[in-house]
A and B are shown apart, each in its own frame.
Chain A
Amino acid sequence: MSATTISAAPSRTAKPKLHLLIIWAALLTAPAWMGYIGGYDALASRILVFGLAAMGLNLLLGFTGVMSFGHAAYFGLGAYGAGFVLRYWVHSTPLAILCGILLGTVAGVVFGALMMRRTGMYFAMLTIAFGQICYYVAYSWNSVTGGYDGLRGFQRAPLDLGFTVLNIRDNGVLFYYFVLAIFAVCTALMGLLLRSPLGRTMIAIRENPRRARFLGINVERHILISFAISTFFTSVAGALYALLNNFADPTSLYYVISGNIVIMAVMGGMLNFWGPLLGAAIFVTLQDYISSMTVNWMSWIGIIFVAIVLFFPSGVLGFLRRRSASK
């Protein structure tokens, strides 16, 4: 057996742990250092929210190899679901999040089942079409969704834990940690999923769907499951987005947001678990900084995106990992 091929095998223990340590240390201390680099609490929360949405999308895009350009639909429905509860029903943050998840995921399952009849580019086009349907419904149904102005007049409720009440409504730092806690649970679930037989099957489908079929795997059904799980996490992010802004607007359903989420995943690195989070951090931060300087911020982000795709085809994290592995 050749020694060279064996030593090329990645060390499976040491380096990933260091990555985790850096990521979690940065996330846990973000409110303390965000201010020094010109950031603020809500910006940190927004990074987490979009990071979660992009990681959710990446289960489908990076780990199952299926393109979706319509994930804003589930992000936006998550936001509206949470908004509806707070605006029309009860003043409860957990219930708002649950209903947001429910609305987004049920839509994901139903749309997914309808779209599963097509593959490749046709599937990708259908994802956009269903996303736009949701957008126009939200845009036109004035009496319920607030139409173009969005759903206003609600605020996230303080969190009653029984023994104490966390005022996440007025305390931005506390709300950041609340989002971080949900983000941690979601990423743990995603990590477990990818290590499970289902995760292995998803990767097998990405690498060779035909081969997977011959191993007795119903590829279409597994893509639907992956799609549904992906919309679940994206709608969690959407619900948190509504709570962050105390507002749900139709642009959160618009295909531009879908594109942004895809860009975040690609920028960070689709083949890396944490890649989309890094992509979201870069995108959201750049958006915040550049939009304070010029209204043409989109052009700048476009140029940076093109540069990243050209020079780091496996995303920023993919590049960093390869560099540290070659050292």
Chain B
Amino acid sequence: MNALEATGLNTYYGKSHILHDVGITVAEGKITTLLGRNGAGKSTTLRSLVGLTPPRTGKVMIFGKDMTRSAPYRVARHGVGFVPEGRKIFPHLTVEDNLRVPLERPGPWNIARVYQTFPRLEERKMNKGRQLSGGEQEMLSIARALLLNPKLLILDEPSQGLAPLIVKEVFRIVEQTKADGMSVLLVEQNVHASLLISDYAFVIDHGVMAWSGTASDLMADQERIQSLAGASAEEWSFDDDTTEAEERAFNAPASAVA
């Protein structure tokens, strides 16, 4: 059974037809990445999958259950953790309280494990969400989704606006969730970084699914990456020696990063 299987999605904003017969599959226990230029329809696809902008036609099956047009909280209760673009933590709650908001679902993730995985969050647990740096907010946002113990984790551009050091950390955690048996749908503009950890890839362009296959096939086809995925196809360097500037960016307040 696939974790997620969407077929024939046609989504509109008013009269604008955004998604044209889009289909996407997330295999269970695998990382699938959805790539595309700005405005290609990546976020709209996600919104259609999780119930924020329900498709006018089409079907969304999540773990074999028809969740088309289900309310977002029902999608979450069915085992889908969604980390939206731009983080969106609760600014006036402490880190600890932010972590206690999610519905408790049984599973491997609890607050103790979150602190073990993100030691920085434990150091700052009594700080309010708004006092965290951009990188810390992203970690908090991901940690909060993990606490739902989702069977399927959906991340919308988690590396956006973050320093390379943090991006590396985020991708390491995504890989770790796969090791836990979670299925992951990753939407990214960092083509190389996301393809490195993904099993499958989809490329969307102008609201149409333009390519699908294994991540390694796409990786080998540099020309296609350049032409379909667009601007940010440059190589990401993931060496362990962080520069001083990266360190500064990590510690900067959220407003400076975002």
Which A positions have Cβ atoms within 8 angstroms of B? Answer: 1-2, 5-6, 8-9, 12, 197, 200-201, 203-204, 207-208, 210-219, 271
Contacts and interface: CB of A to CB of B under 8 A. Distances in A.
Nearest to A197: B100
A5 B73 CA distance: 34
Given A5-B127, A203-B90, 15 more contacts: A2-B133, A5-B132, A5-B253, A9-B131, A201-B101, A210-B52, A214-B75, A214-B81, A215-B101, A215-B102, A216-B73, A216-B77, A216-B102, A216-B148, A217-B103
A218 B51 CA distance: 14
Interface stretch (B16-24, B91-99, B169-177): B91-99
B166 interface: no
Nearest to A200: B97
Nearest to A222: B73
A213 B76 CA distance: 8
Contact of A6 (B71, B76, B100, B127): B127
A204 B88 contact: no
Contacts of A212: 101
A214 B82 contact: yes
Contact of A215 (B97, B126, B148, B251): B148
Interface in B153-200: none
B144 to A, nearest CB: 6
Contact of B73 (A204, A217, A271): A217
Ranked nearest first, the 5 interchain pairs of A and B with the lowest CB-CB distance are A216-B103, A216-B76, A215-B102, A213-B72, A207-B90
Contacts of A207: 90-93
10 contacts: A5-B253, A9-B126, A203-B92, A208-B90, A210-B72, A214-B76, A215-B76, A215-B102, A216-B102, A218-B73
Q: B52, B90, B148: which has the most chain A beta carbons within 10 Å?
A: B90
Contact of B101 (A5, A217, A218): A217
A2 B126 CA distance: 15
B123 interface: yes
Contacts of A208: 88, 90
A206 to B, nearest CB: 8
Interface residues of B, number: 37
Interface in B61-108: 71-73, 75-77, 81-82, 84, 88-93, 97, 100-103, 105
A215 B127 contact: no
Contacts of B209: none
Nearest to A2: B251
Nearest to A8: B131
B72 A204 contact: no
A215 B105 contact: no
Given A5-B253, A216-B148, A211 B131 contact: no
Contacts of A5: 127, 131-133, 253
B144 A215 contact: yes
A200 B95 CA distance: 12
Interface in B106-136: 120, 123-124, 126-128, 131-133
Contacts of A271: 92
A136 B248 CA distance: 63
Q: A1, A204, A271: which has the most chain B beta carbons within 10 Å?
A: A204
A1 B123 contact: yes
A210 B50 CA distance: 12
Contacts of B52: 210
Given A1-B251, A5-B131, A203-B93, A211 B88 contact: yes
Nearest to A221: B73
B93 A200 contact: yes
